[in-house]
Structure 1
Amino acid sequence: MALKGYIYRGLKPVHWSPSSQTALAEAELEYPEGHTSRSIFAAFPIIKVSKDLEETLKPFLNNLGVAIWTTTPWTLPGNLAVALNPDLNYAVVEQNSDACKYQYLIVAADLVERLSTTFETELTVKATLPGKALEHTIYRHPLYDRESEILIGGDYVTTESGTGLVHTAPGHGQEDYLVGQRYGLGVLSPVDAKGNFTEEAGQFAGLNVLKDANEVIINELQEKGSLLKEEAYQHKYPYDWRTKKPTIFRATEQWFASVEGFRDAALTAIKTVNWVPSQGENRITSMVGDRSDWCISRQRSWGLPIPVFYNQETNEPLLTEETIKYIQKIFAEKGSDAWWEMSIEELLPEQYKADADKYRKGTDTMDVWFDSGSSWASVAKQREELKYPADIYLEGSDQHRGWFQSSLLTSVAVNGIAPYKTVLTHGFVLDEKGYKMSKSLGNIVDPNVIINGGNNHKQEPPYGADLVRLWVSSVDYSSDIRIGKTILKQLFDIYRKIRNTARFLLGNLHDFDPKQHTVSYEELPELDRYMLHRITEVFTEVTDAFDTYQFFRFFQTVQNFCVVDLSNFYLDIAKDRLYISHLESIRRRSCQTVLAVAIENLAKAIAPVLCHMAEDIWQFFPYETPYKSVFEAGWVKTSKQWENPELGASWTKIREIRNEVNNALELARKEKAIGSSLDAKVLLYIPEQELRQKLEKFNPADSLSGNKVDELRYFVLASQVELVDSLDSIKQADYQSESELVSVGVIKAEGEKCDRCWNYSTKVGEFKDDPTICERCNDALVGEF
């Protein structure tokens, strides 16, 4: 950056911490609530106006002051101008207060009424004039024998507060400095590193600007008859994030990076990055677009030294391509402490060694944000296994003004590109009630206690690392997030549901070998083909959730899949096939085929989050896989053949019917009319003809015909289902439920209860070998069901 001309040394106002005695970057500041400043309104005497204004202002000149407002009275010794807005109109007003010796004041015309209230005296407008006309009007400093001018400021001069005229001290403010540069003013900053006035401040020398200076200066203004009003003003004020003490603006010799030289390139690079969440792009664009040149030097006893030599006589810096490369080589071999340990002669390249006694080493250190902002060069570009630009930078939302921005600026300045492809920002962790965690509040949640448990395992159980990871995936990290005992307990219930679902799948695959027992897609019952379609939907959603860093979608999708799709639907129906059918029946093997697909993909899908559970699942597979670990197995694997949106739409309706049947069954169960749903016969009236025809195919007259899977009674877990032709049959049922799709009636099941499968059948008692079982169980025992 130095060789491209982006680095320079200059005298400019910077955030300065008297408590740390160093310059600070914006990212090293914090703005606590509740800071109160002593704000004042003061009048500076007008002594000369332009010829254009002589006639208008002549009647008031002997007793006319320009009114200013400031929240930092201590900066008045550095005042070199007053700034106005050329687009505003200004008024000469008469005031009758004894507090100020000037009978007439210049203020923004729009503020006359408000200032009358503030000054507690009526302000009478005597003349108005355009702002532009006041440019170069001369006033005398109320505390020094020094003349200055009223000048045109920027758009920061408004009528939102103050008087519409801004006290301007180029050594104590960025906007003031820019106005001063435009008009060729000096940079007066009579404050030392500790925040004490220097001799340049005259009678105020030795006063500390943050402690006693304001009091003395306000009293002096009052004695001089220039004080119009003093009042407390509560606002956000910059504090040093390390010492927690207020900072000041102070002009010092510092090293800067000229952002203006590559600002447009940086703004262009921002547009090439994927910002997650998307509002991050607007935030950093605004920051880069508005930021001033970057102060990269610090006055610390630690940190990376800025390797610059200074001429002892002229103080001119020596920073060339030769000195930079030579120091680079030394630092690479000996570390940056070499700057402090080696002599100047040893640190200078050969062509400069003879003049070593003419130079001194600089003591400034590098801004830590420049340090971290160069990590793309020191880490990503230096290691073969890494890439530049990096795939992703991830940090808290406060890093738009910190690491994200410093990395962007250094990378664009050197290489013209952003150092990252994606930037992801997250909020901060709060306690369960939304409060910031602190030791004083006693609300800190320790991850070690979550994982390993506290002293009392009943009150603070050991949840394991997976639960912490599941919590992270469950929240919307784009804003601040909460954690606490109740949240963790609720999350652990979901964790157990996922684990129990996996355990059920594994348990029912104990005798399944995919190589021998997999049923081809063409032979699968429609229910199983629908479930494979649903699996493609689920794991496509999971994949997209990870790809877009929307981990809460992963959490919601996996939870819904395990609880709603599997436990409450497919596995509920599958138990009959898994427990009742012959071990080698296609009715059972087809179900196991789907279970194997589900558990393998579930393990892979949860592995990035529930890594321990995923590995547990993989190690307990009852059959061999080509991979020893889930982390060797790759990502989820589905088949294009399984995708069937038409089938999915059809089964969505069937599941809606099933839900309505459950409502009716629950009514009967509450009334003790039935115990299990198998005690019931379900009556269905379907007004939609096409849907009714489809369901008729799922309701064979012969209980042993068809594929013995795709039957309504199995779908709704009832012993029998009858499709009725009219609502009359439904209305005669004791228990009913109704929706736009279906009307449901529940009556007592026909026949006797089978001792083996608990289904009711009219054929129980017909089989001599075992008169207590039904026709299905009879066939299952001989391997035909």
Structure 2
Amino acid sequence: SLIGKLLECGFWGVAFGPGQYRDSVLLPRTEFPSNLSGQKLLEREMEIQRECGFAELYAWQRDRKSKKEYCLHDGPPYANGDPHVGHALNKILKDIRNRFEMLRGRHIHYVPGWDCHGLPIELKALGELGTSGLSPLQVRQKARVFAEGAIARQRAAFQRWGVMADWDNCYYTFDGSYEAAQLKVFQDMHSKGLIYQDYKPVFWSPSTRTALAEAELEYNPQHTSKAIYATFALSTVPPEMADIAGKLGSISVLVWTTQPWTIPANQAVCFMPNAQYSVVKRADGSQLLLVATDRVASLATLLGTELESVGTFTGAQLEGGVCCHPTIPGKDVPLLPANHVNMGKGTGLVHTAPAHGMEDFTVASDFNLPVECLVDEDGQFTELAGPELQGQRVMAEGNDTVISMLKAAGALVKEEACVHSYPYDWRSKQPVLIRPSKQWFINIAGLKDKAKEALAKVRVIPESARGSLLAHLDRRPYWCISRQRSWGVPIPVFYHKETGEPLINRHTVSHVAQLFSEKGSDCWWELPLGSLLPPEVLQKSKAGDLTEYERGEDVLDIWFDSGTSWAAVLEEANRRADVYVEGKDQIGGWFQSSLLTSVAVQKKAPYKALVIHDFVVSEKGDKMSKSLGNIVDPDTVINGGEDPSLSPPYGADVLRWWVAKSNVFSEVQIGPAALTSARDNISKLRATLKFMLGNLRGFDPRTQAVDPKEMHYIDQYLLHLLRNYSMKMTDAYNDFDAGRATRLLQGFITRDLSSFYFSIIKDRLYCDPENSLARRSCQTVLAEVLDGVTRSIAPILPHLAEEVYIHTPGHEGGCTLFRSGWIKSSPVWRRPGLEEAVEGACAIRDSFLSSIHGRSAAEYELIIEIEPGLLFELMESLQEEPTSSYSQLTELMMSSRTTLTNALPRDMNADALISQGNFLINLEGGVIREDSAYQVAAVPTSMARCPRCRRYTSESPDCPCSRCQKNGN
């Protein structure tokens, strides 16, 4: 390509030796550097940010006149650490879209925010101190200071990456105004009966001593449990089994569980009503076992013995059966139907402990079973579990003790290690358990159908993620929103000291919300109870005396914090964003909590579209971790590492190009290869931009531009291609597909500019008179192309785009690219007939080039034969005379001279290389169609090489060609 040649030849690629014609050639000149690296690159990016007003750009666009608004609502990153490449992927992806929409003239509503509450911040802030001896206010003060430090570091990084925002006016979930808006949503949902207090199983983290929501779990696929097969002897045989029991003896129900510690809490054994069950006899003994018929074969293999079926029954026929609890003498365990029983593993009969399973709890509710919790907040057996188990950790020695008790009772059939996926606390990375607790919940069942209806109206990118969004909704029976911590928004509830009944209504919540708005939520602990619950509020609430109440100690789940951001941040007139853009981990997190709270309050989704990107991984596809040593720090990417040879400074635009070029909807790889590739892509782009800038020196498009109708056809054709390119780039950005935008850019530069247009026009640019129509025509197109390309890359590479704009002629002083709009494209540039003419000529050229096998086209004269018809007329428009060395057709052919004729001469030179082909002309939607044949004869030129223009157009080597004789002085 031309760009490659330019780089090889000391940039311009023109080998002019000393001589009288050198100064007469119009070589390109520009101060725009072909390459920036190291400290110069970093300094230049910071200069661009200052000189071009990056910090003021958001406020400027908010103040300008605009009819349309574009709202991208920022999902709050967590304020518990330093900025990482995941932040870079997310923030830059958002900024690319915001800058694109701003260039198109829209008002951008983008308020960056931070999620500031929660246990991870609390734990990091306290470190080894723990909460021992600290009051809630002391804990909160330390957590706030820690969060503010993390916010400052992240905000500085986001600014350095060129993210456009008003960084002095962000939102923080610990601000009083935000907390007050959150409580208003809470009150609205509570008044509709969607928020309630109940005693039911929740995910509980013994390591952090708090309830967790589904979105706060990480599933460890390599967790190992001690799984057991245990028997529950039938004390009351179902009527249908009476005959078998009478003839063969006692029957035991076989169950399987990966949580043996839950056996002491067992209240029932569940079966699938419409499944088949068999009583089987072990070949290695007389034991009779009841199991699902579908599980008999696999169980026989597992137990290492044949299992002979002595009777088969439907699940419904098991009703009425009662078992003996294996470790609690005298305790009866009923057989009960349940649809959650799984036939894919175990025995098809499920041990049911309502205190320690969500589905088990549902069974307990349906059949009025007791819900006995034998486990405390530290994950240890309580006194209710009996002296043998009391004080033991249920997931450690307590588990082993239960297994020993089953063995002693003769109920243990088999014990095995089971590797399976198990939920862990995402903060402490320790396993969680399920235990009942009195908590505050949101009734998802009452919202689920409405949420699905709202989601159906939302555009999801990629569409394949919609199924995951719906699946997460379906899996969630309820949402536990209370947490037993200090660093968060207090749940505005008061409890009666004697009865424990909660006092919460619109009067109490509204008053607390007003206090939070004025003073922040610290006032929940700072103010006396009388200020939180004044007489007028007590009176409106029809409550008793103040002394009968105490304030609650729980705080709201941080997913409720962030999930109500639409109410606190979006403009009140229409609390619905155009788009939310976050990683796929938010499918069950912020996307869902925002949807549920918004549907509950305003009966619609808070977003019109969702863009869901994947995670960043190493170049080997591994998750980044300190232990693997594969973490890529965005600060190191921009500023370089300790050893510049290993970690050179790439600058912010390389980081942004990496984001744009990546397929963000699958795992995004980063590492030396990806960053080096991004740097090289930008270097090639700079060379192309410099070529255009250099050839525009001295050209003022405001006064010297040529009307498209007067341009050379190839120049008009380039405007036609530029128009198509502009529309495709607009579509790519509209579709949130920056990767497609980078491919369109590279294709346009490599194929249409470097390999095609630049290689053809340099003769005109360098050797035609400075003010000639031919040269000004070409410069007009270069100015339009430079402007279009610069604007098209601006959302991705804002520093480079502004740098180019500074060097581009024809701009008012002080104007910046981002204050001057999107790509300008004129309908006049669309020229279908012109397109056929130039592409027909290119088809003929391709045939000619294939016949000379890589030799220089300039060394040949061409005779092009076309029968009379439309193709001939089109080629004739490119060449008015039958034979010419300076026609547009010759320029396109890049030959010494071209002759256009209806028939090849009979006395053809023996050295002629003949090629032929066909070109299909299709105009006006197929109304005009003509398939035309052509032949090309390429003959080695008899002309000499001109010492000025280097074309084979001279009569002798020492004499310039006729054109250069006119222009060479």
TM-score (normalizing by structure 2): 0.75
- Does residue 135 (structure 1) correspond to residue 319 (structure 2)? The answer is yes
User: Deviation digits for residues 472-508 of structure 1, max 9, x if unmatched?
Assistant: 1111100111122122222222211211111111111
Identify if the C-alpha distance between structure 1 residues 688 and 338 changes in structure 2 by more than 3 Å, giving closer, same or farther.
farther
2:602 aligns with: 415
Report the counterpart of residue 681 of structure 1 in structure 2. Answer: 861
What displacement does 1:459 show?
A: 3.5
The one-character-per-residue Cα deviations of 1:12-35 (angstroms, maximum 9, x if unpaired) are 111111101111111111112311
3-state DSSP of counterpart to 2:290: strand
* SS of residue paired to 2:491: coil
Aligned residues of 1:505 and 1:595 also touching (Cα < 8 A): yes
1:33 equivalent to 2:221? Answer: yes
1:45 is displaced (CA, Å) by 0.7
Instruction: Name the counterpart of 2:199.
Output: 11
Instruction: Summarize the Cα distance change of 1:721–1:57 in structure 2 as closer, same or farther, 3 Å threshold.
Output: farther
Instruction: Tell me: CA distance 1:475–1:662, structure 2 relative to 1, closer, same or farther (3 Å).
Output: farther
Counterpart in the other structure of 1:260: 445
- 5+ residue gaps, structure 2: 1-188, 920-933
Equivalent residue, structure 1, for 2:459: 274
Report the Cα distance in structure 1 between the residues aligned to 2:846 and 2:224, rounded to whole angstroms: 62
Structure 2 Cα separation of the partners of residues 58 and 652 of structure 1: 94
1:719 alignment partner AA: S
Match of 2:269 among 82, 91, 94: 82
AA of the residue aligned to 2:681: I
- Which has the higher mean CA deviation after the structures are superposed, 388-397 or 728-737? 728-737
Question: In structure 1, what residue type is equivalent to 2:545?
Answer: D
Distance 1:193 1:97 in 2: 44
1:608 to 1:48, Cα distance in 2 relative to 1, 3 A? same
Letter in 1 for 2:948: R
The one-letter amino acid of 2:776's match is R
SS of the residue aligned with 1:66?
strand
Instruction: Specify whether residues 269 and 653 from structure 1 end up closer, same or farther in structure 2 by C-alpha distance, changes over 3 A only.
Output: farther
Cα deviation for residue 136 of structure 1 reads 2.9
Matching of residues 753-768 of structure 1 within 5 Å: 753-761=945-953, 763-764=955-956
Aligned to 2:332: 147
Match of 1:193 in 2: 377
Change (3 A) 1:580 1:19: same
Aligned residue among 512, 518, 525 for 1:340: 525
What percent identity do the matched residue pairs reach?
40
Offset of residue 431 of structure 1:
1.7
Structure 1: distance between partners of 2:562 and 2:313: 52
TM-score, L = length of structure 1: 0.92
Counterpart amino acid of residue 241 in structure 1: W
Cα distance 1:391–1:758, how it changes in 2: closer, same or farther (>3 A)? same
Kindly state the Cα deviation for residue 599 of structure 1 after the two structures are TM-superposed.
1.3
**Equivalent position of 2:119 in the other structure:** none
Of 578, 586, 589, which residue of structure 2 is paired with 1:399? 586
1:751 aligns with 2:907: no
Question: Does 1:356 pair with 2:356?
Answer: no
Match of 1:694 in 2: 874
Partner SS, residue 32 of structure 1 = strand
Matches within 5 A, 1:342-491: 342-351=527-536, 352=538, 355-381=545-571, 388-491=575-678
Letter in 1 for 2:493: V
Give distance in 2, aligned partners of 1:34 and 1:464: 40
1:588 aligns with 2:775: yes
- Contact 2:954-2:962 at 8 Å conserved across structures: no
Greater mean deviation of Cα atoms: 677-686 or 77-86: 677-686
CA deviations on 1:361-381 (whole Å, 9 max, x unpaired) are: 211111111101011112224
Letter in 2 for 1:222: K
Is 1:507 the counterpart of 2:694? The answer is: yes
1:298 paired to 2:483: yes
**Residue 212, structure 1, aligned to residue 397, structure 2:** yes
Describe the superposition over 1:58-112 as per-residue Cα deviations: whole angstroms up to 9, x where unpaired.
Answer: 334x5211111101001111111111111111111112446xxx71111011221
Given residue 205 of structure 1, which amino acid in structure 2 is its aligned partner? Answer: Q
Residue 599 (str. 1) matches residue 786 (str. 2):
yes
Structure 1 residues 189 and 647: alpha-carbon distance in aligned structure 2, compared to 1, 3 A threshold: farther
3-state SS of paired residue (1:222): helix
**How far apart in 2 are the matches of 1:509 and 1:79?**
84
Q: Counterpart of 1:671?
A: none
Residues 1:411 and 1:601: Cα distance change in structure 2 (over 3 Å):
same
Aligned length: 759
Q: Tell me, what secondary structure is at the counterpart of 1:238? A: strand
Cα offset, 1:682, TM superposition: 4.7
Aligned-partner Cα distance in 2 for 1:738–1:229: 82
Amino acid at match of 2:775: R
Judge conservation of contact 2:275–2:314 (CA < 8 Å) in 1.
yes
Would the alpha carbon gap of residues 496 and 109 (structure 1) be closer, same or farther in structure 2, given more than 3 Å must change?
A: same
Residues 142 and 654 (structure 1), Cα distance of their counterparts in 2 relative to 1, 3 Å cut? farther
Pairing 1:125–2:309 present:
yes
Question: 1:621 offset after TM fit, Å?
Answer: 1.6
3-state secondary structure, aligned to 2:208: coil
C-alpha separation in 1, matches of 2:936 and 2:642: 54
CA displacement at 1:255 relative to structure 2: 0.5
Contact 1:369 1:406 in 2 (8 A): yes
Instruction: Give the whole-Å Cα distance in 2 for the aligned partners of 1:298 and 1:435.
Output: 33
Equivalence for 2:293: 109
- Equivalent residue for 2:346, pick from 162, 167, 180: 162
* Secondary structure class of the residue paired with 1:715: helix
Query: SS where residue 686 of structure 2 aligns?
Result: helix
1:2 aligns to what SS in structure 2? helix
The 10-residue stretch of structure 1 (314-323 or 46-55) with the greater mean CA deviation from structure 2: 46-55
The whole-number CA distance in structure 2 between the counterparts of 1:258 and 1:312 is 27
In structure 2, C-alpha distance between the alignment counterparts of 1:288 and 1:662, rounded to whole Å: 62
In the alignment, is the contact (CA less than 8 A) between 1:84 and 1:157 conserved in 2? yes
- Aligned-partner Cα distance in 2 for 1:500–1:641: 29
Contact 1:344 1:361 in 2 (8 A): yes
Amino acid at match of 2:590: W
Which structure 2 residues correspond to residues 703-782 of structure 1 after superposition, within 5 A?
Answer: 710-711=888-889, 713-722=890-899, 747-761=939-953, 763-764=955-956, 772-781=959-968
Taking structure 1 as reference, are residues 51 and 694 closer, same or farther at Cα in structure 2, changes over 3 Å only? same
Q: In the alignment, which residue of structure 1 is the partner of 2:504?
A: 319
Shift of 1:750: 2.1
Distance 2:581 2:906 in 1: 64
Q: CA deviation at 1:450?
A: 2.3
Structural RMSD (CA): 2.6
Distance across 2 between alignment mates of 1:163 and 1:661: 77
Deviations 1:334-374 (A, max 9, x none): 11111122222221132428622111221111111110101
Q: In 2, Cα distance between the equivalents of 1:46 and 1:729?
A: 110
Q: Describe the shift of the 1:428–1:686 C-alpha distance in structure 2 as closer, same or farther (beyond 3 A).
A: farther
Q: Given the superposition, is the C-alpha separation of residues 157 and 646 from structure 1 closer, same or farther in structure 2, using an over 3 Å criterion? A: farther
SS at match of 1:533: helix
Q: CA deviation at 1:596?
A: 1.3
Amino acid at match of 1:3: S
Q: Deviations over 1:580-638 (max 9, x none)?
A: 11111110111111111111222222111110111011111222348700010011111
Contact persistence 1:498–1:563 (CA under 8 A): no
Question: Structure 1 residues 662 and 459, CA, compared in 2 at 3 Å: closer, same or farther?
Answer: farther
The residue that corresponds to 1:226 in the other structure is 411
C-alpha distance in structure 2 between counterparts of 1:657 and 1:242, whole Å: 67
Q: Which amino acid aligns with 2:337?
A: I
Equivalent of residue 560 in structure 1, options 747, 767, 783: 747
Gaps of 5+ in 1: 669-675, 766-770
Matches within 5 A, 1:39-50: 39-50=227-238
Partner Cα distance (2:861, 2:895) in 1: 6
CA–CA distance in structure 2, aligned partners of residues 162 and 45 of structure 1: 18
